[in-house]
């Protein structure tokens, strides 16, 4: 068996660590070529000791220097340590790498992920913000380079698994109508605040928002799950991955997160992918596709499982979900601005600068401001992203949103 040579962008995050946990179970299948992190030096040192990558990239030179010192003291000075965005772009497109796990959080992952796509790699896409923020440009790059795109997001991975192989082989250019598909059912748990009233949502804390009932994830996506912006970003992600219109996708609340999404066919069949909510399943699926390998996930136990519930989402409780669906209809400028503003507002909420309910206010004002900005090339994306971030930051610092009173 030929080994796959992996580059893991964001190896210290939740997805990065789950990826390494699957890799650890299959030393005969995978070789770690490159790892990257923002600033988690201690953790990446441990990963270097165990997986012996050839190259490691940290975002800042300061963290890279700290890493070099630690590796020297461990006699691991044959590992090349680099820093900066260009180094991330380089490892993602290196000729020694054939598979890239794109698991950086946020739009910071855009250029490295796009670099892997342009270099025609097998790209395991966890970094949904990269696709949301660049849309057609990203998909056109996939088509041009012949990159093999495989979704890691559990919903999109589930949908992928429920599609015929011809459609699986042409992500970004699927023809689902001719494949007999009538609807894509995108499931979501509704997050930790599903049972709270609108008034109660005013005073929820970052700690409560990050305690997701079913999934163990990084902080940003945990808050996005609580606001359901995550489902909104996934709505946009699904549109691009499966070449859909907004009317083809329906969001379904399913609190137990056992079904990870479904595909409804013209003949009345509904194919669902289900299992325990553990990201190692989609990661193992994509790493070994089209084969199946052990992931470490417990087998699903049907005799000890709660009932399956389904509800329509309440847009009053989840205004961010509505905003993202609106942005999807409005066009790329709106999607890019919404994604950027959301990164800023979620960060401000995590730092207790704004209330949970103000995330949607900042997002909406920012999205509307840039809705008619045109996106033709990648520099337009970067420009709108930066302008929307500045604008959202100014809303927070100038107190242009309803008064903030955070404990
Ligand atoms: P985490 O916050 O746990 O990890 C993020 C990773 O990216 C870390 O390795 C972090 O390094 C690195 N990073 C952070 N900022 C930067 C930056 N500016 N430049 C380069 N690297 C950076 O996130 P998750 O693993 O939860 O999520 C990663 C992506 O996967 C997101 O796009 C998310 O939406 C998506 N996803 C996640 C799921 C999950 O279950 N967690 C499910 C589906 C999708 P450091 O540790 O040093 O900060
Ligand atoms: Mg998901």
In a structure prediction context, what are the per-residue pLDDT tens digits for the chain, which is 407 residues long? 889 999 999 999 999 999 999 999 999 999 999 999 999 999 999 999 999 999 999 999 999 999 999 999 999 999 999 999 999 999 999 999 999 999 999 999 999 999 999 999 999 999 999 999 999 999 999 999 999 999 999 999 999 999 999 999 999 999 999 999 999 999 999 999 999 999 999 999 999 999 988 888 999 999 999 999 999 999 999 999 999 999 999 999 999 999 999 999 999 999 999 999 999 999 999 999 999 999 999 999 999 987 899 999 999 999 999 999 999 999 999 999 999 999 999 999 999 999 999 999 999 999 999 999 999 999 999 999 999 999 999 999 987 665 444 43
The CB of 59 under 6 Å from ligand 1? The reply is: yes
What is the residue with the minimal CA distance to atom 42 of ligand 1? 153
CA distances from 142 to 66, 118, 132, 302, 382 (A): 36, 7, 14, 39, 19
Closest CA to 311 of 189, 225, 219: 189
Nearest ligand 1 atom, CA 112 = 20
pLDDT at position 71: 98
Q: Cα–Cα distance between 187 and 162 in angstroms, integer?
A: 14
- Total-model pTM: 0.97
pLDDT at position 158: 98
Closest CA to 67 of 57, 91, 53: 57
The CB of 126 under 6 Å from ligand 1? The reply is: yes
Nearest ligand 1 atom, CA 41 = 47
């Amino acid at each position: 068996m030929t080994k796959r040579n992996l580059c893991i962008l964001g190896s210290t995050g939740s997805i990065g660590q789950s990826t390494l946990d699957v890799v650890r179970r299959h030393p005969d299948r995978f070789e770690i070529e490159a790892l990257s992190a923002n600033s988690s030096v201690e953790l990446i040192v441990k990963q270097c000791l165990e997986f012996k990558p050839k190259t490691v990239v940290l975002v800042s030179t300061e963290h890279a220097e700290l890493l070099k010192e630690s590796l020297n003291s461990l006699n691991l000075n044959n590992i090349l340590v680099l820093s900066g965005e260009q180094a991330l772009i380089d490892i993602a497109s290196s000729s020694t790498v054939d598979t890239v796990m794109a698991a950086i959080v946020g739009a910071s992952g855009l250029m490295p992920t796009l670099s892997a796509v342009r270099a025609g790699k097998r790209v395991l896409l966890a970094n949904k913000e990269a696709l949301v923020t660049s849309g057609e440009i990203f998909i056109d790059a996939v088509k041009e380079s012949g990159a093999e795109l495989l979704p890691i997001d559990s919903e999109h991975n589930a949908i992928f698994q429920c599609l015929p192989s011809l459609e699986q082989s042409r992500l970004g250019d699927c023809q689902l109508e001719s494949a007999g598909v009538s609807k894509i059912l995108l499931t979501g748990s509704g997050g930790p605040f599903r049972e709270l009233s609108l008034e109660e949502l005013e005073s929820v804390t970052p700690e409560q928002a990050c305690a997701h009932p079913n999934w163990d994830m990084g902080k940003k996506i945990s808050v996005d799950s609580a606001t359901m912006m995550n489902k909104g970003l996934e709505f946009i992600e699904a549109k691009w991955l499966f070449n859909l219109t907004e009317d083809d996708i329906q969001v379904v609340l399913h609190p137990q997160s056992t079904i990870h999404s479904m595909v409804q066919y013209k003949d009345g069949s509904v194919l669902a992918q289900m299992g325990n909510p553990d990201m190692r399943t989609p990661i193992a699926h994509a790493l070994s596709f089209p084969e199946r390998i052990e992931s470490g996930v417990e087998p699903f136990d049907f005799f000890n499982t709660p009932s399956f519930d389904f509800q329509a989402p309440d847009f009053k409780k989840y205004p961010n979900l509505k905003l993202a669906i609106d942005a999807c209809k409005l066009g790329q400028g709106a999607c890019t601005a919404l994604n950027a503003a959301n990164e800023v507002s979620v960060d401000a909420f995590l730092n207790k600068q704004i209330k949970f309910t103000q995330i949607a206010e900042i997002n909406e004002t920012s999205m509307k401001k840039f809705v008619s900005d045109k996106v033709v090339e990648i520099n337009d994306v970067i420009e709108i992203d930066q302008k929307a971030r500045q604008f959202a930051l100014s809303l927070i610092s100038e107190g242009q949103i309803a008064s903030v009173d955070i404990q």
